[in-house]
Structure 1
């Protein structure tokens, strides 16, 4: 058996308290090669799918907006949310007279036509109010018309679109008539917008534009600003709004590069949450109201990216993900994965041609590959379903799993290998499936999703395909209700108290820590709190709680709790790490090391690990800097080799990054874990 497979099977099948219930499939014998091994663990639940999760963008320059054919296609794909009036048009659009000075407005794309299409599709609207050339009063009147006069019940309202692109940071694509284009001005006016709009309908949710971690201009502090865009906006507007808005066009020059960018999602969303807690004093919802890829937009690479990105974002609690766009139009033509790609942002064909008329798109509203990816995603997980931790032994096989509200389980398998089929064996922790599964497949070039039957524990994935297994339990699920989301308090460097809402009487609660796709049980209690001891300082933990009744039946997992232990309470060294000057994909960092012990340090080496693979040190000073893999080391020189008790040395570096810039958390001086200041 291959070493990586043996290691994962050892974790999955070990007779230990790591997994409370045995895996349902038998162990694989050493002489067998099951191909790719996939683990699904219902003890390690992630976030729950919201009712607006699967979304798209509609634009007022799209003459197909709201038509019967388009609405029915979106309904068939399971689309639940539609954003209006379309990207940067949001900041020039005046809803009352349906005009967008400086832009084209197609016939029959007014707000009422849009809402008729939304209702026909069975979805809900996400509306971007005009910040750039509009006023709080205009936005409030729109809320009144939509929700009071017409009864449309529009819940989610954005204030503008990508306002950081108004020229303040140098790039100017977003209309903004305000003389002051700073984040401080935007934030102060967002407060006015939110108050005026909520005075009309207090039930609405209002969102503010944020930068996406790792994407320009995130991390940059412009001249005269008190901090970065997110810091300033969240500090002022955060207490008044309900969610933050991020957009993501991650780039990539090849199919493999573009599809790999989904590994940045978890860190990016976590950083936005941390920023909202730090600067707004609360955890805001997160909406990704624009998403697309740079390679294979209309062919299978775009579909594989879309399915993986939507599922990953849902697992991280993003409440709406809105593909840009329903229609967009032909750009440039190439052949990708054996099929014609028009580099068209749209889900559906616009039926237009190249300027010379030599190449035309298929008939109007023909679905492109990403449309089928959205349809596969909606069949994989819907509102109320809970995503689960998974693992795959093959990096080209991406796997997502969801437990369904009806007691079933679904597993979405994405084969990113363009040439090879992948045999897959599946193992389940905490769930016993019936032997037969419903199988949904979308392969490279397919014009529709195929449906069949297969095994719950094995499958063969065609090249460049999305396959979903829909499972039923082998016996009725009769356990107690799942506990509510736990919370952490009294977190120190070594301990944390975890508590959760009381459930049914007479149950015991198990506290599980997630380790990859595996879990380890920390303990159990009949109460509603548990104190974990012997934790590692400066370490992030993810915890779930499970209820067990007197008959031994167990519940589904609670939503996850993530917390980080404090820096070491006592140490003989302390480190201050500072991002001095950031330009969006790199920065100057400063590191100060203090000897907090009682003896001189004669000769020192400081080490830390970057949290991601896309961060690196390019050069440094006041020491010899080197990086191996993600581990960074700086060695003191002759001029600063001795650090007296109470004294400090300063060193620094220039770093680059190509994704969310997550700061390191653990610094070791000559092997000693330092306190971080």
Structure 2
């Protein structure tokens, strides 16, 4: 492969936007602020606006988690001669980059750190580990280091830890074991070097344990990461010959007790012509990340909250087109925040520099087909990129998220009435609220009305930052009648509005600190006992459940635990906790907890659901039903609901299938006999299913309306 190109990968499932679930819960607090003036737009947009054509709702008390110091990251590669240019550190520091990943994707599995060689590949001068760490330190970031799994050994990795953290004192915390090892040919397509005779996920899991043991023997504080596939993306669901399951389930079943984080890669795919094409595909990402967490919950149990999720590579496509232009800058801003809001602790763009590829014209500009954030100065034919380290639009998209919030700030729920305007919001630790708006319409400025729950803005003019056509960097906007209730976002524009709270309101006015993240101590089919670390100055605690941007109170206590009752079996809930001081003023919300109730242990029926095989965007499953009642069941039906959008039954056998929306009803064949009592007989049926995105198992099955136990 070319040293400047990331290896290709086989096509996975098709890319269709997922429908967003409707919010159904009432707002916890009244929406505030009348409509007023507008912020000035980019040169192509009017300076004033009339009636809003987009409505945005922000709930400052609905937590999506806290931004970490590692939130924004980039990849770096040893074949990149400009990797350690002083300008790189300056630019990345300005964008609040907190992680830098080394030595560069698939190169990690041929790279030997001690000799600074990559047999079969090119290594540029001045890109050794110490040179890289100089850039990391100048940036103020942390390294994410990829230990060579493909052609390395646990001993080699342990030697790197010793040199980095004992000899040099770099304090390198995050260490992945290999890059995209599932691409080693075990599933038919192979781009990742893997010299192991056994290329199965079980062998990878065995080796991860060996690497973790050797590396932590040198420095027990290091965090070890295992490589997973993104659920719903190839080769998720594929079961290799002799394997007990697909990649993720096999690996996690054997390493969930030793790893500290998992590493996932996600590419939107496709040669996009508009910002909407790529950002619409982001609708898949939250469900895929939820499924990663569900898999961790399944195999790590109580340890799951201590295992982080790192999105160590992200970009739009690997096809080499429409990568440096403005649409990909909008995608970068949207993608960073979408991933962070859905539970990852770092999002690392591929790549810092990557090299010129296919030349196209996008939005009136030359697109160089370069997956880098910064120009490498290369050429395709007689078309050359600008000077090295000139930022491309994705850099400014990432940088704009730094205007939204920094480490310690709380991401909060926000929603937009229109698909072509995305919104993200952050409650600052000092009580201010920042809202990022992404206008994916290439032709029309959008006038946005802003409503708030749990936040009362002051009358002060908000601070507005913009990146749109005509801007050479993030631009501070002044004047133009900007207000807390209405702004205008230029076509293909990014706008961040930062608001001061009204005096005496907001978390900063409360004497109570922020509670700790709730933990689920015990969850049954209908109850959940939650506990959390108390906050200073708290007189009582409010437990609230979130659905989209809406919240509702579900518990209140003067202690630090509560039991939620009368929950539906197999239902998923996201809750957080607020502390109230003696005057009733509320703190910022804790980080959220998501949990799913189970099924009854003593039901009169039991259902086993087994996924037999899969191929990324399709699968085969078998369902077995037992009657545990003391009377026979004749003429049975089995019902379930798919947990994710775009899951469906394509064809089946052994029964009659009917699907309406996400609901599936399976009816016994006409010649089926009764189900004998006390488990004396079973009914079994199977089907071919389809999925476009994550493919989680259904959580609840009903036999003739009765909720069944698991098999």
Q: Is this a same-fold pair by TM over 0.5? A: yes
- TM-score, normalised via structure 2 length: 0.88
Measure, in 1, the Cα distance between the counterparts of 2:469 and 2:230: 31
SS of the counterpart of 2:256?
Answer: helix
CA RMSD of the aligned region, Å?
A: 2.3
The answer to whether residue 689 in structure 2 is matched with residue 655 in structure 1 is yes
Distance in 1 between residues matched to 2:673 and 2:484, nearest whole Å: 61
Cα distance, 1:134 vs structure 2: 1.5
1:406-445 Cα deviation digits (max 9, x unpaired):
2211111112222322211111111112232111111257
Moved more, 589-598 or 517-526: 589-598
Match of 2:568 in 1: 536
Change (3 A) 1:497 1:279: closer
Residues 1:150 and 2:182 are matched in the alignment: no
Contact 2:33 2:484 in 1 (8 A): no
Structure 1 residue 64, shift from structure 2 partner = 0.3
* CA distance in 1 between partners of 2:211 and 2:195 (Å): 16
2 CA distance for matches of 1:412 and 1:306? 13
Distance 1:266 1:143 in 2: 34
Contact kept in structure 2, 1:330 and 1:342, CA below 8 Å: yes
2:65 and 2:590 in contact (8 A); partners too: no
Match of 1:632 among 664, 669, 681: 664
Secondary structure class of the residue paired with 1:247: strand
The alpha carbon displacement at 1:671 in A equals: 4.5
Query: Would you say 1:290 and 2:317 are equivalent positions?
Result: no
Deviations 1:608-663 (A, max 9, x none): 33222222221112233233333333333312275454543222211121211122
CA contact (8 A) 2:25 2:547 kept: no
Does the CA-based 8 Å contact 1:339-1:445 persist in structure 2?
no
Partners of 2:35 and 2:449 within 8 A in 1: no
Aligned to 2:118: 100
How many residue pairs are counted as aligned between the two chains?
Answer: 659
CA distance in 2, matches of 1:225, 1:445: 55
Contact 1:604 1:641 in 2 (8 A): no
**2:477 equivalent to 1:452:** yes
Secondary structure class of the residue paired with 1:277: helix
Q: Which runs of 4+ in 1 moved over 6 A?
A: none
Correspondent of 1:268 among 260, 270, 288: 288
**8 A Cα contact 1:441 1:465, kept in partner:** yes
Given the alignment of the two structures, is residue 620 of structure 1 paired with residue 652 of structure 2, yes or no? yes
Mapping 1:518-667, distance limit 5 Å: 518-568=550-600, 573-597=605-629, 601-640=633-672, 643=675, 645=677, 646=679, 647-667=681-701
Aligned ranges for residues 127-138 of structure 1 at < 5 Å? Answer: 127-138=145-156
2:549 to 493, 517, 528: 517
Contact 2:230–2:266 (CA under 8 A) maintained in structure 1: yes
Match of 1:420 in 2: 444
Q: Secondary structure, in 3 states, of the residue corresponding to 1:240? A: coil
Pairwise CA distance, 1:483: 0.7
Q: Say which of 106, 112, 117 aligns to 1:88.
A: 106
Structure 1 residue 317 corresponds to structure 2 residue 343 = yes
Superposed CA offset, 1:44-66 (max 9, x none): 11111111110000111111011
* Conservation of the 8 A alpha-carbon contact between 2:436 and 2:497: yes
Q: Which has the higher contact order (CA 8 A, sep 6+)?
A: 2
Describe the SS at the equivalent of 2:344. coil
Q: In the alignment, which residue of structure 2 is the partner of 1:333?
A: 359
Distance 1:673 1:11 in 2: 25
Closer, same or farther in 2 for the Cα pair 1:460/1:568, shift >3 Å?
farther
Alignment partners' CA distance in 1, 2:701 and 2:250: 29
What is the CA–CA distance in structure 1 between the aligned matches of 2:83 and 2:500, rounded to whole Å? 38
Which residue pairs with 2:44 in the alignment?
none
1:397 aligns with 2:415: no
What is the distance in 1 between the residues matched to 2:161 and 2:637? 60
Partners of 2:217 and 2:704 in 1: CA distance = 59
Change (3 A) 1:446 1:506: closer
CA shift for structure 1 position 235: 2.9
User: In structure 2, how many angstroms separate the alpha carbons of the residues matched to 1:311 and 1:512?
Assistant: 23
1:65-80 paired onto structure 2 within 5 Å: 65-80=83-98
Distance change (3 Å), C-alpha of 1:671 and 1:459: farther
CA contact (8 A) 1:236 1:280 kept: no
Task: List gaps (5 residues or longer) in structure 2.
Answer: 1-21, 37-49
Shift of 1:447: 2.8
Alignment match, 1:4: none
Residue 204 of structure 2 aligns to a residue whose secondary structure is helix
Q: Secondary structure of the residue that 2:422 maps to in structure 1?
A: strand
8 A contact 2:513–2:538 mirrored in 1: no
1:554, distance to aligned residue in structure 2 (A)? 1.1
- Farther off after superposition, 360-369 or 636-645: 636-645
Aligned CA distance change for structure 1 residues 513 and 280 (closer, same or farther; 3 Å): closer
Relative to structure 1, the CA distance from residue 237 to residue 597 in structure 2 (aligned partners, 3 Å threshold; closer, same or farther) is closer
Moved more, 333-342 or 474-483: 333-342
Deviations 1:117-155 (A, max 9, x none): 112222121111112112222222212222222222211
The separation in 2 between residues aligned to 1:301 and 1:671, in whole angstroms, is: 49
The offset of 1:307, in angstroms, is: 1.3
2:376 is aligned with 1:373: no
CA distance in 2, matches of 1:585, 1:323: 25
Instruction: Give runs of aligned pairs for residues 193-232 of structure 1, distance below 5 A.
Output: 193-232=211-250
Q: 1:395 to 1:552 in 2, by over 3 A?
A: same
Structure 1 length-normalised TM: 0.92
Q: Does 1:60 align with 2:78?
A: yes
Residue 46 of structure 2 corresponds to which residue in structure 1? none
Instruction: Indicate the residue corresponding to 2:19 in structure 1.
Output: none
